[in-house]
Chains A and B, each alone.
Chain A
Amino acid sequence: MESYETVDTAVLVLGAGGAGLRAAIAAAESGARVTVVCKSLLGKAHTVMAEGGMAAALGNVAGQDSWEAHFADTMKGGKLLNDWRMAEIHAREAPERVLELERWGAVFDRTHEGLIHQRPFGAHTYPRLAHIGDRTGLELIRTLQDRLVHQAGIEVHMEVTVASLFAQDGRIAGALAYRRADGGLVLYRARAVLLATGGAGRVYRVTSNSWECTGDGTALAYRAGAELRDCEMVQFHPTGMVWPAGVRGILVTEGVRGEGGLLRNKDGERFMERYDPDRMELSSRDIVARAINSEVLAGRGSPHGGAYLDISHRKPDYIKRKLPSMYEQFLKLAKVDITKDPMEVAPTIHYYMGGVRVDPETGASSVAGLFAAGEVTGGLHGANRLGGNSLTDLLVFGKRAGEAAAEYSREHSRPARISKAEVGEAVESLVGPLGRPHGENPYRLQAELQDVCSRHAPIIRSESGLLEGLQQVLELRERARSAGTGGPTGRAFNPGWHTAQDLGQMLVNAEALFRSALKRKESRGAHARSDYPNPDPALANVNFVVREVEGAMSVRALVREQLPDALLAVINRSFEKYTPEEKE
């Protein structure tokens, strides 16, 4: 049998994006010994690509902002499909988490008074996004990374990928992983495991997500017996780059619209007037993405099949100061000077609202000792996420889950047993592709899967398309059993082998997406169906929950707990409208 190294730890954190880093810091501060395992290098996680800002009702620009207003916006944006308690906690605690980040050294653009500046963003009633230019994710990651190296009791294992989790009698026990550098296998024995692995955007062809976003945590949790929710809810960000081909899909921050950017079709019409005349360009992402899609389908798209996004009416200095990365990105990649000319943009897969079903207070999944935080979870964002809510999600729930995992590890001082036989099976399946280099080509399978999701679970879905898609996913799953490495058999940095592993996780995510989307016979938020174009009131308080039952994926409808009257009243409150002062 293959040899492997064994590492013992109290709390094992998978992922070093914002949620994983914040969780690791919290768990270590609570006194737990923490090991962070991440797929890439520290500081390079997908969070680094976040641009626009982090939403928190600090009230620095609009004094009338409040946690209630933020809560109401989040719930309405999510079409009330959200876990209301998560939305409440998030809105209440986000300001403190942002201030804490500032304490640790994060740089923010400032108001004239020297307070953290906040910019307007889609479907937020007030200017709410704390930001530094359009590189807020980088600043968040950098600050947390620097804080993490400062914090005693945390060990980081970089470029290590977890392939499977072990649970014993419903309690988490550990994980099997491989190191990219030398292909060595590592068995982690942990008293608590915290998933912070992000989303699964890579199951689509055109996405703003980095190569890492293959839905590992969702799939690992599912196989360990945890429940997933809202897997049909996948966000198309309205504005991704459409050309050059090499960068198709990469993000054009909503900050462009926050700073006054206008959307036009090829006839020069501000088409949002026809889709959301009140909020126009600052409508919610689901609506703007569908609007651009409709314009293109109606033949009013731009030359590369998108819409025009124009910020050139703002002063060049202002654009370069508030949107420096966008300015540079378009100049370098597309040779477009956005201070003079419009950008061409189209919807791109951006975010998984669905994920592991967790306890709102602690991030605990339905498997004892298994916690989750960030994009890998479902609940906070309901059927559609508002821009800026993701970064504060990471901070608020990263901290909570980290503390809860530390506490769990204290209460369970002995790790659960891991059976040798199970490890053996997991190892065999992990190294399988190395033994069949010329098995099914993993790159080809991955590309086919991306085509299936892109074609059959697009921005507007239908029963026949979803059924066809599910069928093809199941066929791919069969073929993936004999996936090889695409040729090489070496252990060190073997990208074909890694792709074969990722593929297994992506397939679980894709299957959950199609099965859940078939169940939701209505249109709501990010989930739009041509055969059921309207919301169905009977599904308004239903979430679809996925779990493994006797080796097969089952989906059940779960009726949500009623919103307390006090919170319902908050949602129905009419908040004072904000009128910005024009200053540049």
Chain B
Amino acid sequence: MAETVEVTVQRYNPETDSAPRLQTYEVPYKDDWVVLDAILYIKDHLDATLSYRWSCRMGICGSCGMNVDGHPKLTCSAHLREYRRGFTVEPLSNFPVIRDLVVDIDDFMAKLKSVKPWIVRELEQPLGDGEYLQSNNQIDHYRQFSQCINCMLCYAACPVYGMEPEFLGPAAIALARRYNLDSRDEGTVERVNVLAASEGIWECSCIGECSVACPKGVDPAKAIQQTKFDTVNGAIMSTMLMPFGNRR
């Protein structure tokens, strides 16, 4: 008989269920499958009512984040062979559940905007003058912070966000950091007001769950630490007084 694996899935239908419940399915086990393949199998062969998000299957769109055995994962990159003895799939923690494995992330979209994720400059060079020059070394200062795919795994992992929904959260702070470190940008002062005003940043206990959860090697915990440091040391002030180009 073909090998199988037991997959327990949290189900919730707002039209009929008063609370989420768990349902278990028997899914074929294949060594080269990922968790997303098992979920697709359930929908295609066992239960067409199962709802979830996915898109690219290659870990770049950030749609298929779910809790697998309690840990936030991109299900297109989580291999079945690591869950040989069966596993449980639940929606990402810390977000309202819309249905089954689908969560509401509207809150993040608002936070995203508040950190001004674009290049802020006093004077914009006309396009005819060509690009702002930047070296690969300068990019290395913020490269990792620019790899975020907005998959929300860090928010699901963050104990502070869980208790304090006002907290800007790991990805938004990492994004702010990405622009603050960008040699083309002059918007640090504008952003720090938002960052410092976010109560949560001081409550972050730096256990670094967000950085562990990140599937793209972004280190939001570091961004938060650096932001605290800058704020406390008034480094921001000196940045404001220094002309563009002097703070590589």
Q: Flag whether B18 is at the interface (Cβ < 8 A).
A: no
Q: Which 4 A-B pairs have the closest CB atoms?
A: A244-B32, A114-B133, A493-B51, A486-B48
Q: Once the chains bind, are B34 and A102 in contact (CB under 8 Å)?
A: no
Which residues of chain B are within 8 angstroms of A276 by Cβ–Cβ distance? none
Minimal beta-carbon separation of B123 from chain A (angstroms): 12
Q: Which of B79-121 contact A (CB under 8 A)?
A: 79, 98-100, 102, 104-105, 109, 112-113, 116-119
Looking at B134-142, B160-168, B199-207, B225-233, the stretch in contact with chain A turns out to be: B134-142
Contacts A102-B131, A114-B134, A138-B60 known; A246 to B55 CB distance under 8 Å? Answer: no
Check if B63 sits within 8 Å of A41, measured CB to CB. yes
> Which residues of chain B are near A245, meaning CB under 8 Å?
30, 32
Task: Please judge, given known A-B contacts A246-B32, A246-B34, whether A211 and B112 are in contact too, CB under 8 Å.
Answer: no
Please determine whether A325 and B60 come into contact, CB atoms closer than 8 angstroms. yes
Q: Is B59 an interface residue (CB 8 A)?
A: yes
User: Can you sample 19 A-B contacts with CB below 8 Å?
Assistant: A40-B53, A40-B55, A41-B63, A43-B150, A48-B149, A103-B131, A105-B119, A105-B185, A135-B60, A150-B113, A210-B57, A244-B32, A246-B30, A246-B36, A329-B58, A333-B32, A490-B16, A493-B51, A495-B43
Chain B nearest CB from A543 CB (Å) reads 32
Given known A40-B63, A110-B136, A210-B56, contact A105–B179 (CB-CB < 8 A): yes
Q: Which residues of B contact A (CB under 8 A)?
A: 13-16, 30, 32-34, 36-37, 43-44, 48-51, 53-63, 77, 79, 98-100, 102, 104-105, 109, 112-113, 116-119, 124-125, 127, 130-136, 139, 143, 146-150, 179, 182, 184-185
State whether A210 and B48 are in contact (beta carbons under 8 Å apart), knowing that A103-B124, A114-B134, A115-B133 are contacts in the complex.
no
Given contacts A41-B63, A110-B135, contact A246 B98 (CB under 8 A): no
> CB-CB < 8 A to B44: which residues of A?
443
Q: Flag whether A44 is at the interface (Cβ < 8 A).
A: yes
CA of A244 to CA of B32 in the docked complex: distance in angstroms?
A: 6
* A-chain residues with CB within 8 Å of residue B13 when the two chains form the complex: 490, 492
Known: A40-B53, A138-B149, A493-B99. A104 touches B59 (CB 8 A): no
**Once the chains bind, are A247 and B58 in contact (CB under 8 Å)?**
yes
A333 surroundings in chain B (CB, below 8 A)? 32, 34, 58
Which residue of chain B lies nearest to A110 when distances are taken between CB atoms in the complex? B136
How would residues 297 to 334 of chain A score, 1 for a CB under 8 Å from any chain B CB and 0 otherwise? 00000000000000000000000000001001100111
Among residues of B, the one whose C-beta sits closest to the C-beta of A181 is B98
The listed residue (A103, A149, A334, A487) touching B49 by CB distance below 8 A is A487
Q: Specify which chain B residues have a CB less than 8 angstroms from the CB of A569 in the assembled complex.
A: none
Residues from chain B with Cβ under 8 Å of A273 in the complex: none
A566 CA / B55 CA spacing, docked (Å)? 45
In the bound assembly, the distance between CA atoms of A44 and B105 in angstroms comes to 13
Given contacts A105-B118, A147-B118, A443-B44, contact A328 B59 (CB under 8 A): yes
Please pick, from B34, B55, B109, B143, the residue contacting A212 in the complex, using a CB distance under 8 A.
Answer: B55
| A residues in contact with B57, CB < 8 Å | 210, 246-247, 250
Question: Quick check: A44 and B61 within 8 Å, CB to CB?
Answer: yes
Whether A100 and B127, one on each chain, are in contact in the complex, defined by CB atoms closer than 8 angstroms, is yes
Given A116-B131, A246-B37, 17 other A-B contacts at CB below 8 A?
A48-B149, A100-B127, A114-B134, A139-B146, A210-B61, A211-B54, A245-B30, A246-B33, A325-B59, A328-B59, A333-B34, A334-B32, A487-B48, A488-B48, A492-B14, A492-B98, A492-B99
A491 contacts the other chain (Cβ, under 8 Å)?
A: yes
The residue of chain B having its C-beta at the shortest distance from the C-beta of A51 within the complex is B60
How many angstroms between the C-alpha atoms of A251 and B130 in the bound complex? 32
Distance from A233 Cβ to chain B, minimum over Cβ atoms (Å): 24
Chain A 491-510 interface 0/1 with B at a Cβ cutoff of 8 Å (1 = within): 11111100000000000000
CB-based nearest A residue for B45 = A443
Chain A, Cβ-Cβ closest to B150:
A43
Q: Is the CB of B58 within 8 A of A150?
A: no
Measured CA separation A251–B56 after assembly (Å):
10
Return the chain B residue nearest A146 by Cβ: B117
| CB neighbours of B54 from chain A (8 A) | 211
| Minimum distance in angstroms from A213 CB to a CB of chain B | 10
Which residues of chain A are within 8 angstroms of B148 by Cβ–Cβ distance? 142
CB distance from A554 to the nearest CB of B (A): 35
* Any B CB within 8 A of the CB of A567: no
Q: Is the CB of A99 within 8 A of B55?
A: no
Query: A246 CA to B57 CA in the complex, in Å?
Result: 9
Residues in B neighbouring A211, C-beta threshold 8 A = 54-55
Establish whether residues A492 and B15, one from each chain, have CB atoms under 8 Å apart when the complex forms. yes
Q: Which interface residue of A115, A116, A142, A493 has the most chain B CB atoms within 10 A?
A: A493
**What separation, in Å, do the CA atoms of A49 and B32 have in the docked complex?**
22
A243 within 8 A of B: yes
Complex CA distance for A325 and B77, rounded to whole angstroms: 13
Minimum CB–CB distance from B137 to chain A (whole Å) comes to: 9
The residue of chain A having its C-beta at the shortest distance from the C-beta of B127 within the complex is: A99
Q: What is the CA–CA distance of A195 and B139 in the complex, to the nearest angstrom?
A: 35
Which residues of chain A are within 8 angstroms of B131 by Cβ–Cβ distance? 99, 102-103, 108, 115-116
A551 to B184, CA, bound (A): 56
B117 to chain A, nearest CB (A): 4
Which residues from A are CB-within-8-Å of B61?
A: 44, 48-49, 210
> Contact between B130 and A99 (Cβ–Cβ < 8 Å)?
yes
Chain A residues closer than 8 Å to B143, beta-carbon distance: 107
A214 CB–B CB distance under 8 Å: no
**Whole-angstrom distance between the Cβ of A36 and the nearest chain B Cβ:** 13
CB distance from B243 to the nearest CB of A (A): 18
Q: Report yes or no: A443 in contact with B32, Cβ–Cβ below 8 A.
A: no
